[in-house]
Chains A and B, each alone.
Chain A
Amino acid sequence: MKKFLSVLLAAAMAMMMLAGCSSGGDATTGAPGNGETNAAETAAPEGGDGTEAAQSDVTITVAAIETAYGSDMWTQVCDAFTAQTGIGVELITDRNLEDVIGASMAAGSYPDVIHLATGREAALTETFIKDQNIVDITDVLSMTVPGEDVQVSEKIAGGFTETSLTNPYGDGKTYLAPMFYSPCGLFYNAGLFEEKGWTVPTTWDEMWELGDQALEEGIYLFTYPTTGYFDAFFYALMYTVGGPEFFDQATNYAEGIWDTPEAQTCFDIVARLAQYTEPTTPAQANDQDFTKNQQLVLDNRALFMPNGTWIVGEMAEAPRADGFEWGMTALPAVETGGDRYSYTWFEQAWIPSGAEHQDEAKQFIAFLYSDVACEIFAAAGAIQPVLNISEKLTGDNQLFYSIYDNGAKAAMGNFAAFSPIEGLDVRTVWFDPVNSLVAGTITEQDWIDGIKAASDQMRANLIQ
């Protein structure tokens, strides 16, 4: 009897300890935000198709990455959403958002809305896409924007909800909401071009000529922050070389696509560009030192780098050469008069399948396209992909966002999603080897062989 009692006591003690551990899950991560509103765990009300109701007892968790735009805008938008709908928002923002929410998600506790971008080192969005763990939000497009009387689909600019980034499975359904778009291209010091009397090249042949010319003055033609920036560059390059049809086939890993002349041209251009790249670039192309590569352009030591419009804010405090002025151009054409493309990079907001308050989360996403939210975002430099937004832009942004008005075509999309393959992902196969091309430790053919082998495996694992 005594023994039984002691076992019982020991068990009770252990249970208490474990209970103490598990209650830690509720603790909010130290995020700046609107209040310590701990979610009152009430059942999510039914319906909620855009019409606002008094749902003040529901609090949704929004996890948003903090980037060059800062996190204040998120606090303001969440406040505005609560004021409009009565739904509370617990906001989590962090520069390393994946590290903050990753552990609790692995334990089964998901935020209701996640705002991130693909192409990040941690590849959280890609993980959820591969796992097919994202809620279908096609119905959000036909929802009314809270506080307005128009539908979401009437606000979002054309094309944004038809790309492989928002509809990753090609089934006509939208899973990720397009956010904060930014034209990507080659950034340079317009002041330097003016001073030297150089013209910005419109074809790759002109580019190589300029490269030789600049090198005589000790300036390298090209640098890149990290190899991650090659995704937007390579996508635009594929469009420039082979048009949308080639892009579609290539990003779906069509059989034999990498043996075509178009693909060879893409590889040749990157390999040649590697020879013109500032030699210290690969040693600094990591998450810690990438700004040193960006600094090369500010210091007139390299002419061009692939980047997005956020670069202006990111390097705002950095020292720069006299007369420095940001310039941005689309990728040069393959031949005179050929098409030029600028990749439209955008971030995404999505709802993980494990989210508790999915209806409220959908309302929140709809609200992100309201005039109120768009203005708050725009004030911080984050431009929502809504119609007529370019009229409201000022300064550098006006110049950058007018790139499509000046003859460049918009390139959108990315490599098609495939089921996870052990030891294989897009970045390490396509883009990371550029570092080795620049250092001269692998040949162009090694790089192409790696891509072909990987492409075959990815095709076999495509998510249909």
Chain B
Amino acid sequence: MKKRSGRSVFIFLCAAPAVILFTVFMIIPTINVFRMSLFRRSAYSPTEEFVGWENFSRLMQDTNFIRSMQNTILLIVVVTIVTFALALVFAAILTREKIKGQNFFRVIFYIPNILSVVVISAIFSAIYDTNNGTLNSLLSLLKGETVSILWKGESMVMVSLIIAMVWQAIGYYMVMYMASMSSIPQSLYESASLDGAGRLTQFFQITIPLIWTNIRTTLTFFIISTINMAFLFVKAMTSGGPNGASEVVLSYMYKQAYTNSTYGYGMAIGVVVFLFSFGLSALVNAVTKRRTLEF
């Protein structure tokens, strides 16, 4: 009896720090965000006034918020699909095919991921420059006349963000897919090719099903990281402009909370983002549920 209670004390002691830290730094602040979303208050002022659901009902009529939400969803969908497809293909090529300079390509693809967003935004500022940027110069060369696309102009700014975000994310996911692809036994591919399966069939029938667990995990990553990274990219590259055309939901939340003195309103946006990313992740998880295949 004494031994058992000693054991539970030990377990309790081991778990306590983590539980306390998690409670203090995760659970309480999250509850606080939910609480503050029901108040009218500013970031630096101690006074607050209870307004109930008013912040949320205002949100639904705020066209700037709706536009920033649309932009965020656009980024989640497009960046996820493009990055996912490219990373998968490149990972398959680099693990399955024998090409020269494999390691070189691995490093090259991964480099954008270790660069800070500020550096990336400086690089893309040079690429997107209208008058003597790399992209317009290249297009001018191909077309034979001067091309002056406004990459950071109102109509193209989201496309520009998508290109930069895909470029940054691709290496990270590629490495993750490569790790699980390389653990698939070679014998499976050998027997498949004896049965007459081509490269594409092998990719869809063997590779994808066997790394499915990994793919599911990365899909959740995609949702969370796109929401977060979009904020950094927007802050560093466009400041949400021109005229709010590239505003995403977190940059709009930041503006409302800190520069417009409407902290409660910002927290209401935070609540929406919280529920949205939670819901979307759960949905993706449920939709992609398959029987786990083992080898």
Contacts and interface: CB of A to CB of B under 8 A. Distances in A.
B131 interface: yes
Interface string A28-42: 000000000000000
Interface string A424-439: 1100100011111001
Nearest to B252: A423
B152 A13 contact: no
Nearest to A16: B17
Closest 9 CB pairs of A and B: A435-B242, A420-B261, A10-B16, A283-B150, A283-B153, A422-B265, A123-B259, A283-B152, A131-B45
Contacts of A439: 150, 153-155, 242
29 contacts: A3-B5, A3-B9, A14-B16, A17-B21, A18-B24, A121-B239, A121-B259, A122-B259, A123-B259, A127-B259, A127-B261, A131-B44, A227-B241, A280-B150, A282-B242, A283-B150, A283-B157, A287-B239, A288-B121, A288-B237, A289-B125, A289-B129, A420-B40, A422-B62, A422-B262, A422-B265, A423-B58, A436-B242, A439-B153
Contacts of A6: 9, 12-13
B154 A102 contact: no
A311 interface: no
Contacts of B55: 422
Given A14-B17, A422-B58, A423-B58, 12 more contacts: A10-B16, A127-B42, A280-B130, A282-B153, A286-B239, A287-B239, A288-B236, A288-B237, A289-B129, A423-B65, A433-B243, A439-B150
Given A131-B42, A288-B237, A283 B256 contact: no
B185 to A, nearest CB: 46
A420 B244 CA distance: 20
Interface string B119-153: 00110010001110000000000000000101111
Contacts, number: 151
A133 B263 CA distance: 15
A14 B20 contact: yes
A362 interface: no
Interface in A135-165: none
A92 B62 CA distance: 37
A356 interface: no
Interface in A267-299: 279-280, 282-289, 292
A432 B243 contact: yes
B217 interface: no
Interface string A392-428: 0000000000000000000000000000111111001
A436 B13 contact: no
Given A9-B13, A10-B16, A288-B236, A435 B241 contact: yes
A285 B130 CA distance: 12
Interface in A285-335: 285-289, 292
Interface residues of B, number: 49
Given A130-B261, A131-B42, A423 B256 contact: yes
| Range of interface residues on A (Cβ < 8 Å) | 35 or more
Contacts of B182: none
B64 interface: yes
Contacts of A282: 150, 153-154, 241-243
B152 A289 contact: yes
B53 interface: no
A43 interface: no
B205 interface: no
A421 B44 contact: no
Q: Which of A352, A423, A439 is packed against the most chain B CB atoms within 10 Å?
A: A423
Q: Which of B20, B24, B122, B153 is packed against the most chain A CB atoms within 10 Å?
A: B153
B128 to A, nearest CB: 8
Interface in A13-65: 13-14, 17-18
B258 A10 contact: no
B130 A284 contact: yes
B102 interface: no
B260 interface: yes
Contacts of A352: 44
Contacts of A371: none
Nearest to B61: A423
Given A127-B43, A428-B64, A280 B9 contact: no
A153 B211 CA distance: 75
Nearest to A122: B259
A198 interface: no
B43 A106 contact: yes
Interface string B24-48: 1000000000000000101111000
Contacts of B244: 428, 432
B214 interface: no
Contacts of A98: 258
Contact of A127 (B58, B121, B243, B258): B258
A286 B13 contact: no
Contacts of B237: 286, 288
B238 interface: yes
B17 A17 contact: yes
B9 to A, nearest CB: 5
B260 A123 contact: yes
B5 A133 contact: no
Interface in B165-196: none
